Every structure is written in C-alpha cells, then in structure tokens.
Amino acid sequence: MKRWRTTILMAVVGLALMIVPVAELLAEDPITNLSLEDAQVRVDGVVKVDLVADTLPVGMSGFILAATTTDDGIAAPVLIEAPDYGLATVHQMLDGSFRLSVADLVRLVEAGATDVVLGTITYSGEGVGTTTADLLVTSLQDDNGFEIEHTVTPGLITVTPSRDLDGDGITEDIDGNGTFGFTDIVALFEMLVPPPPEQ
C-alpha cells in the first residue's frame, strides 16, 4: 500500500513539474504599446516628440511607420529621426506624413528592452488649437521575424499664440505658455538665429 502511495505521490509531483514549464510556454507576451508624448508649441515654432515602445519582450528587428496629424491646419510633422539602427530611411509622403523604415542591423534593441525611444518626430505649429499626433504602423517585427502585437497611444499637440502679457506692445510670451521666462528667450533666439548649415 505504501509503495502505491509513494508511486502516486511521485507521479503527482512529476506532473506538477511538467505543468509549470508548459504554463510558461503558453503565457502570452505582453502587448507592446507605442506612444507619442503630449507637447506644446507656439505658432511658427517646432517641437520634438519621442515615439516610445513600452516593452519589447522578443526584441525588435525593424519597423515601418508613418507620423501623421489630424488634417486641421494646427500642426504637422516636418521631420522624423531615428537612433543609429544601422539602416534607416525617411520619406515624405504626398499627404504630408513622414514614413520611417528601420532595420536594426546593430541589435540596438535587445530582447526584454523597455521604454525604448524608437524615433523622434518634429512637429511645426501652424495654427492655434490642439490636434492629434498619430502613427500608422505598417510593420513592427521582433528578433525572430514575427509581427509584434501592439497598440498605439496618440499624443496631443497644442499650438499656442505668442502674446503681449502686460499690454505694452511688446510680445514677451514667445513660446505661448502664458508666462515670461528663459524658455521665451530660447524661443526668440531660435527664431532670429538660423541653424548652422549641414555638413
């Protein structure tokens, strides 16, 4: 009788040890969320917004995506940049969006990476108001070449006017945030001083 009990106990323990690895194999990877930060910019100004992937459990071998905004004349993408993945191309589409195609040749993004900045998008302020900065993702693949299940969280771009804060006829609030400070000086400098030529 004891032998049977011992045999049954060993069988139960062995089965339990088998179930745990199987359960781990069946567990689904978390869904990757791609998000754009909210940002504020003045009319005729520019602002950079990071595109962030919250988790990439099986790494990232490449992606193709386009940066867009609501077609309302408030803000528009003017540039999209990427880290040094080894291969990255940018195209401006006929609808005004910017498409970024990337192959991670240097294994910059490893399996298990979190809060990964996939790229940075520059938007220009064109009219006062708030618009949605969105993404159109054509492909996002892991290190095994499979498509990564993902969601997209758009950002909001708020465009504000420059203002005369005290009615003296001088515009102090250059960046449109409602106050006068160092950011206004920086914004004025950016308006008056042209960027250095590209080498």
Task: Identify the weakest region by mean pLDDT among 61-65, 68-72, 88-92, 174-178.
Answer: 174-178
pLDDT digits (tens, 9 = 90+) for 1-12: 555 555 555 554
Radius of gyration of the chain (CA): 25
Task: Evaluate whether 128 touches 43 at the Cβ level (below 8 Å).
Answer: yes
> Please, what's the b/e burial string for 117-126 (b: 16 or more CB within 10 A of its CB; e: otherwise)?
ebbebbbbbb
Q: Where are the domains of the chain?
A: 32-160, 162-194
Separation CA 192–CA 199 (nearest Å): 21
pLDDT digits (tens, 9 = 90+) for 132-172: 999 999 999 999 999 999 999 999 999 987 766 667 666 66
Task: Choose the CATH number for 32-160 among 2.60.40.1890, 2.40.30.20, 2.60.40.680, 3.10.20.740.
Answer: 2.60.40.680
